[in-house]
Structure 1
Amino acid sequence: MQPRIPRPTVVAAAIVALTLVTLAGLLAPALWYELVERRDLGRLAAGGAGVAAIFMLYARLLWLNLMRRTAPVHALGLAAIAGLCWAIPAVLGGDAGWGNLLMVPAGLIAVVLPLRQAVPVTAVGAVLTPVYGLLLGLPVLSVLYEAIGFPISAFSGYVTVWLFHIVQELREARAELARSAVGQERLRFARDLHDVLGHSLQAVALRAEVAERFVDRDPPRVRKELTEIQTMARDAVRDVREVVRGYRTTSLRTELEGISAVLQAAGIRCDRPAIPDLPAHVHEPLGWVAREAATNILRHSGASWCRITLAADSRVHLEIVNDGAGRRSHTPGTGLHGLAERVTAAGGELAAGPDGDGMFRVRASVPLETREP
């Protein structure tokens, strides 16, 4: 299946690295010309130092804004990059590829500046850059390329950072949904325990107070109260066990309703089937299959939809399909091995794996009737 999405810092580092590689592709012809054609080490050193300074400042500003560490002083860094990109072609000449430097600041405009400022700055840059290119004596096609490419580069930089922030916010929202679900389940369990134990423990406390008042005056009454306390305590223990047993019991209906809500909250379209009345022995293994399949979809896939089908004849068949499988071969993990053991113990069968066209399919079936011992 598809690998997990790396941490935000890893993705940000990859974006910075790919951006620098792209810029290097723009400026490599100029450095190559100075090294091989002109063989002027002084010009090469000056151009290389300027390019290195631009790259370091560019990478720093891009990284800080990807990490949401924005500051007004970053506008000065952008101005410094623009000044270097305009000064180097003026000193070394616009020929031999140095004119490509005029395009470099565009990618940072909408990243560093607020959008209300980035739009007019991009418009001004799209006009001034080709004019300056003409003054440097650049070919007409290069000037036309800069006039068209300047706003495109600015928009590309904005979209890159915007998509990175959107993905990060979706990761945070998914984690918050998981924490909220856990918290709600804890509250439900605490509420059930309170409802079960609250009355019993209050009654035990009252009986103990009565026994304490009559401990010297009426020993038979005390023995009666102690007997009642013992009975109430045993009943409370039995009630707690019932609550815990119900809490741990896996219900196929509950699991399908829960995973449908969770997947839809995570932006994955999920169609949940109608659930007929099924024997109790069916719910446990198929409920675990549904739970593990949903966990794998959320953790390991890039699914956009999930389809759940349920059918019953002599056996109950559950199938969960999603479109988040990768193209590489799938190696079953411990979760699927554990599921296979549960389903086999119930007399059923389990099959899971990629099914072509990027789909991953989980099929499970268990007998509708219990097996005779």
Structure 2
Amino acid sequence: MAVATLSVGTLLVTVDARTWWQAVVLSAGVIAAFVASVRWTENGIPRVVGPCLLVAAAVWLMGSLALSVSTAFFALSIVGPLYSPKLPRHRVPAAVGLILFVAAVGAIRLLIAPQDVADVLLLYVLLPAGVTSVVTFSLFAGQAFYDLIAELDDAREREAELAVVQERMRFASDLHDIQGHTLHVVKLKITLAERLLTTDVERAEAELREVRALVAETISQTRDLAYAQRHLNLSVELENAKNLFEAAGIHVRVDQEGEIDERANELLGQVLRETTTNILRHAQATYVRITLSTAGITVLNDGAGHTPLSGLSGLSTLRARVADNGGELTVAKRDGRFLTQAQFPHERTDL
């Protein structure tokens, strides 16, 4: 945008400036338009815009009324449309006011050259107002596009955060199921053991041994829960993954090429759950393809970016677990696509 503005502005100065004074005035407008273009960003209005807009308006006033240069509106047709769509409020009235100002300044020239009504209307009113209108409409459309992309990014981020919160809630629920039940049973057994201490010591000791065994089992279950080793069902995890992806606006496709070995069902469920979480948290995916076969599971998604692989400690832990069970877990990233593959026995799928 900045290069095009400078190129077109320089050409107009070269063609239309007949005196050094006209060249100075028109160049000031080109410089103002160039500075405003350079400082343009998707969001926000920099401080230089106000002075640039004033210079552009002054150049149009002087060019139209004093210098008889019809293209002096160029700078104003760049600076105004460039930033009116970025105003926090009253965007449309500001754009309409800009176009009316351009047309009104040109129309005032009729007072200077009343004999050339047709030429003045064409060169100083219709053409400047028309060009400003077209540029304004184009930049309003562009700003609407940027706003839509920003909203989609915000929505995707909220969906990913929601998925993480749901996973934490499920973890908390599982933890409550394990420890809540255990603590309740332990409380009852200790109360019973206290009562039996004076009447049946052997029975009290037996109850305490059961309490110790129950606590040890709960510790083991809690450890398994913390390291994602609890029993999972691949079918349940597959349905959960589909629901999460669809809620996040990600197209998901599931291909069933064969029956999964029942012995690998739970481990593949863990791989799918961890992969689902990684996609929602780390990728900007638009589609996910899940392939189930007799050999295992393959998950392919886009939106992985081009940065090195990182932040996938969960998959690293699962890789060793899959290897211990005679399988192989591989991950690969290429051209913005990410592949997660767990197979029993080894079969490879290229990106």
TM-score between the two structures when normalised by the length of structure 1: 0.63
Shift in Å, 1:239? 3.3
Structure 1 counterpart of 2:180: 198
Shift in Å, 1:158? 1.9
Shift in Å, 1:270? 1.0
Correspondence 1:255-294 to 2 at 5 A: 255-273=237-255, 276=259, 278-281=261-264, 283-284=266-267, 288=271, 291-292=274-275
SS at match of 2:291: strand
Q: Which runs of 5+ in 2 are unaligned?
A: 114-118, 347-351
The reply to whether residue 179 of structure 1 matches residue 156 of structure 2 is no
2:344 corresponds to which letter in structure 1? V
The reply to whether residue 106 of structure 1 matches residue 81 of structure 2 is yes
Task: Please say if residues 254 and 291 of structure 2, whose CA atoms lie closer than 8 Å, have aligned partners that are also in contact.
Answer: yes
Q: Deviations over 1:26-56 (max 9, x none)?
A: 4222455699x85x3x665555555555665
- Provide the rounded CA distance (Å) in 2 between the counterparts of 1:128 and 1:192: 71
2:214 corresponds to which letter in structure 1? D
Q: Deviations over 1:302-322 (max 9, x none)?
A: x5433333233xx34x44455
Structure 2 counterpart of 1:232: 211
Task: Please say if residues 81 and 132 of structure 2, whose CA atoms lie closer than 8 Å, have aligned partners that are also in contact.
Answer: yes
1:86 corresponds to which letter in structure 2? W
- Provide the rounded CA distance (Å) in 2 between the counterparts of 1:166 and 1:44: 41
**More off after superposition, 231-240 vs 249-258:** 249-258
2:161 corresponds to which letter in structure 1? R
- Provide the rounded CA distance (Å) in 1 between the counterparts of 2:288 and 2:283: 14
1:27 corresponds to which letter in structure 2? G
**More off after superposition, 118-127 vs 162-171:** 118-127
Answer 1 or 2: higher relative contact order, Cα 8 Å, separation at least 6.
1
Cα gap change, 1:307 to 1:200, in 2 (>3 Å): closer
Structure 1 counterpart of 2:149: 167
Q: Deviations over 1:119-170 (max 9, x none)?
A: 7547646855775798897895897654443222222222232322322232
Q: Deviations over 1:58-103 (max 9, x none)?
A: 777x65x824x89xx9998897466335224237735495342242
2:156 corresponds to which letter in structure 1? R
SS at match of 1:186: helix
**More off after superposition, 166-175 vs 240-249:** 240-249
Task: Please say if residues 340 and 349 of structure 1, whose CA atoms lie closer than 8 Å, have aligned partners that are also in contact.
Answer: yes
**More off after superposition, 247-256 vs 345-354:** 345-354
- Provide the rounded CA distance (Å) in 2 between the counterparts of 1:166 and 1:235: 55
Structure 1 counterpart of 2:116: none
Cα gap change, 1:241 to 1:156, in 2 (>3 Å): farther
Task: Please say if residues 272 and 309 of structure 1, whose CA atoms lie closer than 8 Å, have aligned partners that are also in contact.
Answer: yes
- Provide the rounded CA distance (Å) in 2 between the counterparts of 1:77 and 1:172: 33
TM-score between the two structures when normalised by the length of structure 2: 0.66
Shift in Å, 1:238? 0.8
Cα gap change, 1:99 to 1:139, in 2 (>3 Å): farther
Structure 2 counterpart of 1:6: none
**More off after superposition, 338-347 vs 265-274:** 338-347
1:87 corresponds to which letter in structure 2? L
Structure 2 counterpart of 1:66: 43
Q: Which runs of 5+ in 1 are unaligned?
A: 1-17, 369-373
Cα gap change, 1:167 to 1:297, in 2 (>3 Å): same
Task: Please say if residues 310 and 319 of structure 1, whose CA atoms lie closer than 8 Å, have aligned partners that are also in contact.
Answer: yes
Among 64, 79, 83, the alignment partner of 2:57 is 83
Cα gap change, 1:319 to 1:111, in 2 (>3 Å): same
Structure 2 counterpart of 1:371: none
Structure 2 counterpart of 1:12: none
1:228 corresponds to which letter in structure 2? E
1:103 corresponds to which letter in structure 2? S
Q: Deviations over 1:168-210 (max 9, x none)?
A: 2322222222222222222222222223322432443455567
